[in-house]
């Protein structure tokens, strides 16, 4: 693969789209947040979703070998899916905050699922682990959790809401852009 490993790390962050996760966390009622805090709820959910990514990343290589799929081929698939996912994120809002589990369990639903553990991000983890190894998955996951936590400090109303909207759109565009890079790179990889 010719694309820089840093593109893969960034792709993991933008595929989750931290601003959209922050919007979901911000939409929870105070009683539905862990420690009554958007920051803790969002970061906790990102950590749970990230743990799932790490688990997937750890088994991705043997999985691809078992199903006879090469790294370039899975990256072509990743690229196409990210292109579609980025376009969808650009034109559709984040998932609703409701229904949600109450209290600290809201980190599981709706933050970890469905806001963080998004299927295209899971596929991306498989591709990145297959093409670049586990460490970019780990780096991307850590950055993703940090980015979700940072985004959730923005208020979900007023100016903060508009900033999250713009950041979410930027994340969608970057998701599509990294998808294009991966698709082309996968096609022409040796």
C-beta pairs of 153-159 under 8 Å, 24+ apart in sequence:
153/38, 153/39, 154/22, 155/26, 156/22, 156/23, 156/25, 156/26, 156/27, 156/38, 157/26
The reply to whether 111 sits near another protein by the rule CB under 8 A is no
The reply to whether 33 sits near another protein by the rule CB under 8 A is no
Interface pick for another protein out of 45, 72, 140, 171 (rule CB under 8 A): 72
Interface region with another protein, contact rule CB under 8 A, candidates 39-47, 99-107, 132-140, 169-177? 99-107
The reply to whether 188 sits near another protein by the rule CB under 8 A is yes
Q: Is 35 left (phi over 0), alpha (psi -120 to 50) or beta?
A: left
Task: Determine the Cα–Cα distance for residues 141 and 31; give it in Å rounded to an integer.
Answer: 28
Shorter beta-carbon distance to another protein: residue 69 or 180:
69
Binding site for another protein (CB under 8 A): 32, 67-70, 72-74, 76-77, 80-81, 98-102, 109-110, 113-114, 117, 119-120, 122-123, 187-190
């Amino acid at each position: 693969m010719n694309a820089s490993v840093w593109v893969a790390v960034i792709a993991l962050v933008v595929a989750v789209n931290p601003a959209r996760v922050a919007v979901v966390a911000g939409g929870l009622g105070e009683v539905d947040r862990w420690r009554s805090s958007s920051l803790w709820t969002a970061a906790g959910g990102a950590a749970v979703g990230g743990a799932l990514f790490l688990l997937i990343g750890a088994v991705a290589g043997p999985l691809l070998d078992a199903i006879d799929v090469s790294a370039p081929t899975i990256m072509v698939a990743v690229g196409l899916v990210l292109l579609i996912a980025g376009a969808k994120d650009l034109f559709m809002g984040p998932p609703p905050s409701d229904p949600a589990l109450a209290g600290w369990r809201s980190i599981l639903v709706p933050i970890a699922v469905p806001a963080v553990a998004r299927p295209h991000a899971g596929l991306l983890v498989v591709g990145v682990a297959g093409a670049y190894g586990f460490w970019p998955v780990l780096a991307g996951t850590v950055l993703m959790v940090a980015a979700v936590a940072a985004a959730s400090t923005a208020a979900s109303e007023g100016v903060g809401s508009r900033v999250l909207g713009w950041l979410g759109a930027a994340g969608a565009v970057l998701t599509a852009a990294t998808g294009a890079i991966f698709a082309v790179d996968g096609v022409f990889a040796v």
